[in-house]
Amino acid sequence: MSRLIVISNRVSAPSGGGAQGGLAVALSSALRESSGLWFGWSGEETDVFTGQINFQRNQGVATATIDLEAQDVDEYYNGFANRTLWPLFHYRIDLAEYERGFAGGYERVNARFAETVAPLIERDDLVWVNDYHLIPLGRELRARKCKNRIGFFLHIPWPPTRLLLSLPSHRQLVESMFAYDVIGFQTEDSLDAFRDYARSQFGAEIDEGGVMTYDGHSVRLIADPIGIDTKDFRDSATSETARVRFKRMRDSADGRTMMIGVDRLDYSKGLQERFLGYERFLSANAEQHGHVFLLQIAPPSRGEVQSYQEIRATLDSLSGRINGEFSNVEWVPIRYVNKGYPRGELAGMYRAARVALVTPLRDGMNLVAKEYVAAQDEDDPGVLILSRFAGAAEQLTDALLVNPHSPEEVSDAIATALAMPLAERKARWRKLMDNIEQEDVFWWRRRFTDMLEAVTR
């Protein structure tokens, strides 16, 4: 394949300590195969932006990172990316903040990325831009005479037109995307929403092959759901670390049935609604008191953003209320933990849980759902309860699909999962596992890069 240039907000190159996530594994593999380069922000700040690049090579993967000014981080990252686009794209326009300074910082940093990376791009390279932080980057590269094939993949949902119109710069943002040759979305739903906007607002045309044209620029649109490194996660679930954690969880459960939720502390994950659904289950099923508990792992994120501080306070209060109402001296219904765990330990926890609750209000994909399935014992698998509004629901149709906004549906699904016979659990798990094995993270990566490499400019 041609040399691959991956560009993302942050770089997750291999290092000597700890395991990489599935996305980083897939991209690192492609970068090694093509002698490519991964470019992004270092995560560090500098007093004055100079464009100085820090080049490194770790385990065969070349990386190039830059430092940003504090104002850049505040306006581009904390501001437009995470206080404007993130809530808007997750259908929370009530939380979206529209400030000119945020939008200006977003444009400025994308221009700085382009100015810095453009000299590193060679004639035949494939350029792959990732996620909502860098939507205008293709346009900025084109402005600097970059004629390469450039693709963009959005890892979060694309919102419906009626919501996107609330963004003051919505037209400018979407027009910039026609600088790309290929745009990938997690789901058909997001792809359809993008097409609807471009048709209704621009009069863009689309042919039978999925190529959309506007103002003389054509871009191929694809739905390309990301997967996990299934084999590696299966191996993690039977590792010594996982076995130790599995035993410790079973010992601490003391014969009780464990359910699990693992989510970044974010309002899009539906944690408040999950707790309310579980509360409804406890109210309706007194016979289950003392026999079941929910382990909710929710490491904090973006603590400097007010809305994230508020969701943490809400969950602290709600979990305390539920435990105060239903617990006794020998049992608490919710174990609520605000810290993260290494992948091997999580795999052991997944394997120990009879039920997983993956109930986001809106999610681009949600790989926890796939990790839970991959971690299960095929002779005694657990049950996945999955939100209809997670991208994974388009693939994992044999999960128990629920509306996370409905406490009754969540409660009923918990009751169904706990009572599900072994034969049905095994049959559902096998179908879920077939999808996760066939459409893993390497399938996702190859499908996108093959599509990009086939483009003729």
Q: Which residues are catalytic?
A: 155, 363
Query: What is the dihedral sign for C-alpha 118, 4, 28, 210?
Result: positive
CA torsion, ordered 206, 448, 117, 99, to nearest 10 deg: 60
Residue 292: which of 307, 277, 282, 302 has the closest Cα? 282
Cβ–Cβ under 8 Å, residues 33 and 60:
no
8-state DSSP, 48: S
Residue 13: which of 30, 2, 1 has the closest Cα? 30
The arrangement of strands across the sheet holding 292-297 comes to: 334-337, 292-297, 257-262, 355-358, 383-387, 400-402
Residue with tokens 């590696």: 232
Q: What are phi and psi of 183, to 5 degrees?
A: -125, 125
- The continuous run of DSSP H or E covering 1 comes out as none
Q: CA neighbours within 13 Å on the CB side: how many for 38?
A: 28
Cα of first residue to Cα of last residue in the chain, in angstroms, is: 17
Residue 53: which of 100, 117, 102, 145 has the closest Cα? 117
